[in-house]
Amino acid sequence: MKLSIAILILAQRPPGRPKGKARIKGVRESPKKNQTKVDRKGRIGHCGLCGGEGHNSRKCPRESDESRKRRRLNMEQQSHEQAIEDVSSTAPPATQP
């Protein structure tokens, strides 16, 4: 009796999406999964504002403090407007008397 319960516990499927059955590769086949995948190692990042190498738009040395503040306020205002729009779209429609 205890043995059958232990087997049932071990046989339960783990949570999450099941991994597919891997095909057994041939002797001369490459063990790599994806040869077209590009990794980030050795690549140089570029800035979205000035196009310079080695930094992104957040740490751009050419951007002035004034324009950085203006861009930040604009982003905050857009997120606030989006939040208001989301709340109003989920509210029930107003009824007229």
Read off the pLDDT of residues 12-48 as tens digits, 9 standing for 90 and up.
778 888 888 878 777 777 766 666 777 777 888 889 8
72 falls within a domain: yes
81 falls within a domain: yes
What is the number of structural domains in the chain? 1
- 12-49 residues labelled b (16+ CB within 10 A) or e (exposed): eeeeeeeeeeeeeeeeeeeeeeeeeeeeeeeeeeebeb
Q: Give me the phi and psi of 35, to 5 degrees please.
A: -85, -15
Read off the pLDDT of residues 57-80 as tens digits, 9 standing for 90 and up.
888 888 888 888 898 899 898 888
DSSP H or E stretch at residue 12: none
Statement: residue 5 has pLDDT above 70: no
Q: Please give the residue range of the domain that contains residue 73.
A: 46-85
